[in-house]
Amino acid sequence: MKRFAALLAVALFGCVALSAQQFDITPAPAMVEVEDADGRVTMFDASREFKLYIAVECEDHERLTDAAYATGLDLKVVKKSAKRDYLNIVIDPSVEHGEGYILECAEGGINIKAATAAGVYYGLQSLRQLVEAHPNREWLKCRIEDYPRFEYRGVLIDISRHFRSVDFLKRQIDMMARMKMNRLHLHLTDAAGWRLEIESYPRLTSYAAWRTPHDWKGWWYGDRKFVEEGTEGASGGYLTKAEARELVAYAADRYITIIPEIEMPGHSDEVLAAYPELKCTHAPERQGDLCIGKEATFEMMQKILDEVIEIFPSEYIHIGGDEAGKGDWKLCEDCQRRMHEEGLESVDELQSYMIHRMEEYLNARGRQIIGWDEILEGGLAPNATVMSWRGEEGGLMAAEAGHKVVMSPHGYCYIDAPQDAPYSQPESIGGYLPLEKVYSYDPAPATMSEEVSKYILGVQANLWAEFIVEDSHYEHMLWPRAIAIAEIGWSQPKEKEFAHFRSRAVGIVDRMIEEGYSPFDLKNEIGNRPESLEDVEHLALGKSVTYLEPSRYYAPKYAAAWDATLTDGKRGTWTYADERWQGFLGRGGVDVIIDMGEVTDIHSISADFMQICGPGVFMPCLVEIAVSEDGETYTKIADIEYEVVLDELPSFKSFGWEGSTKARYIRYKAHRSKYTGFLFVDEIVVR
């Protein structure tokens, strides 16, 4: 109420140009007016009973009636428009933008009009938020003109790694609808389990949907075996065709399209476990890629797709296409024969051959394919839409070639990373992706040419479930970051202001908790690593650093500020992907010499390292520190041993020396442990 009172004071006694960001609607609307024709700003009383009149075709009438009652207003259905105390809902073709709407809270009541039923539905979501934000049923009289920036506003939910029930999925659909999101990308198949009934290939669900142990991590790092349905202790599950159709209808009632994903040719371990005849001919113990040389592979995928398109009416069918190893194809007689017969010069072209065939098959049945940006490799199928995840480069390349693109870069949209101080969060893949960084993303910035930006369909958040066993954990990771994606996809860039958005998001999270959801409790956010908030002043700041072999070859992807990194004053955040931590990979560790420029009194030398076992980031097992006045003769002043053990939560540790010495040169050497992976260091601090 304090925030509302402040807004009212500004509106009544100051400037009435109220920012849409300051209004209690998320995503922020395109335009909000709070003054009438005479320039007055007054209050709207929503505590009365409203006469609900819906001038919409029968097909959508029930949907919109349910949405109107969900606003929480006191309603009475009438058969014609009332003159006062009305809630009139009208389809008006003159309203611009297919999903746009106009919402007016005026003296006589409420008008919502839109060109489509979906637009009306979104107007009702805005009305619902006004009611929720004002328990006294009173807010500023207003006229809201609103429409989405992008046509695609989506979330990926992974039910392969850990199966989720229909009821769970419906709860997320409900929340997506309230945030005006319109695409649910359902990741149905992956190495860890097949999750959709396919009558043509029953072992996909009678066998490849069940495993022990229940958790993905125990299975992945164990024997990766599947078991027969009904086996004692078996864990898993799948959507029956009836359940999938029920889910499709439930989403459609909320103007959300479900896009099914059937992974191919990679991430197909579960398919090959159930139907090993589709493995490549040289038959190693483990294979994850379908054999493209076998015609039986295409017969199977086509029959599967036939059943998928019977269930899912979506324009798009997602065919995956990511992270195929491709190594088996180089050794497979069938694949090599296929390459020779088709005149293919590389295994990239072999994958492209499969994607092309799948596209032709689906196009002939009135559908379009969408795939991860690896489908660009070897040549993109003519009509394919690209979902760009490894960054934005693939999406830009596809858009420049005239292909539609959904932006989903992992640095902003992969919400499987912790959203707060990692030590305070449940287990995850690692890194750090707070709400503010998600919100900062722009799929089509002003620097992008109009010729390219017109192919950007929208944006999607992806939540992979390798480390997310429980439903409550999944909701914790999904919300409120998916709310930020919703606003990115709907609101105009000029209406983005994080402080206002965060305030609204806190209110939404609190309501979600009251309703039984398990979102991240945003109002108690800890925030970024304290050391990263200000540059550190120390004696070695800006000093020259020499990288000795083999640490000279730090990983280019994690070069940070290159040779200036270790003395630039920048301390790392909670994630190694922040361009502050420098990553070292390979047989060497860290071995550098700092030139202080002159002999200097020194009393401490230290550097921070991190450990996140999931992506293979480990502490050093030994740190050696030595000093020299002439650069020739070094005296060791510290040998710091450390026992590196595997753990679940990210950790940070300083390895340093304190004492008294004089030196011009400092040699800092960190040895990697028995665990192969990265060493990450941010700054060598000398005092």
Q: Where are the domains of the chain?
A: 2-146, 152-524, 530-686
DSSP 8-state secondary structure symbol assigned to residue 81: -
d(CA 253, CA 555): 49
Which listed CATH number (3.40.50.1980, 3.30.379.10, 2.30.31.70, 3.40.50.720) goes with 2-146?
Answer: 3.30.379.10
Return the half-sphere exposure (C-beta side, CA atoms, 13 A cut-off) of residue 28: 25
Q: Give the model confidence (pLDDT) of 513-553 as tens digits.
A: 999 999 999 999 999 999 999 999 999 999 999 999 877 78
* pLDDT bracket for residue 263 (50, 70, 90): very high
pLDDT band at 39 (very low <50, low <70, confident <90, very high): confident
- Fold annotation for 530-686: Jelly Rolls (2.60.120)
Integer Cα distance of 637 and 421 in angstroms:
33
Indicate whether 670 pLDDT > 60.
yes
pLDDT in tens, 106-126: 999 999 999 999 999 999 999
Which residues does 469 contact at the CB level (< 8 Å), separation at least 6?
Answer: 162, 214, 215, 216
Spatial CB neighbours of 5, under 8 Å, sequence gap ≥ 6: none
122 contact partners, CB below 8 Å, separation of at least 6: 99, 100, 101, 114, 146, 180, 255
- pLDDT at position 4 over 70: no
Q: Helix 481-490 to helix 471-478 angle, to the nearest 10 degrees?
A: 40
Say if pTM beats, i.e. exceeds, 0.85. Answer: yes
Mean pLDDT of the chain: 94
Tell me the per-residue pLDDT of 132-172, one tens digit each, with 9 for 90 and over.
999 999 999 999 999 999 999 999 999 999 999 999 999 99
pLDDT of res. 2: 44
Query: Is the distance from CB of 207 to CB of 270 less than 8 angstroms?
Result: no
Question: For the segment 62-113, what is each residue's pLDDT rounded down to a tens digit?
Answer: 999 999 999 999 999 999 999 999 999 999 999 989 999 999 999 999 999 9
pLDDT at 174 over 60: yes
**DSSP secondary structure of 302-313:** HHHHHHHHHH--
Cα 173 from chain centroid (whole Å):
16
pLDDT reported for residue 283: 67
Please, which pLDDT band fits residue 18 given cuts at 50, 70 and 90? low
In this prediction, what percent of the chain has a pLDDT beyond 90? 89
| Predicted local distance difference test score (pLDDT) of residue 351 | 96
For residue 614, give the nearest of 221, 213, 267 by alpha carbon.
221
- pLDDT tens-digit series, residues 218-260: 999 999 999 999 999 999 999 999 999 999 999 999 999 999 9
Max CA pair span of the chain: 95
Confidence band of 43 (pLDDT split at 50, 70, 90)? very high
Place 13 in a pLDDT band, splitting at 50, 70 and 90. very low
Cis peptide before 260 (omega within 30 of 0): no
* Interatomic CA distance for residues 19 and 3, integer angstroms: 14
Q: Give the model's pLDDT for residue 200.
A: 98
- Say which DSSP state 415 is in: T
Q: Which of 518, 419, 418 is nearest to 467 (CA)?
A: 418
Q: What is the pLDDT of residues 306-338, one digit of tens each?
A: 999 999 999 999 999 999 999 999 999 999 999
**CA distance linking residue 146 with residue 31, whole number of Å:** 6
- Angstrom CA distances, 12 to 1, 143, 681, stand at 16, 16, 54
pLDDT, one tens digit per residue, over 483-515 is 999 999 999 998 789 999 999 999 999 999 999
Nearest to residue 558, comparing CAs of 533, 579, 534?
A: 579
User: Three-class SS string for 89-120?
Assistant: EEECCCCCCCCCEEEEECCCEEEEEECCHHHH
442-486 tens-digit pLDDT? 999 999 999 999 999 999 999 999 999 999 999 999 999 999 999
Residue 579's Cβ-side half-sphere holds a number of Cα atoms within 13 Å equal to: 2
pLDDT value, residue 588: 76
Q: 152-524: CATH homologous superfamily? A: Glycosidases (3.20.20.80)
- List, by residue number, the catalytic residues: 190, 267, 323
User: 546: which residues sit within 8 A by CB, 6+ positions away?
Assistant: 592, 593, 595
Residue type for position 386? V
**Confidence category of residue 1, pLDDT binned at 50, 70, 90:** very low
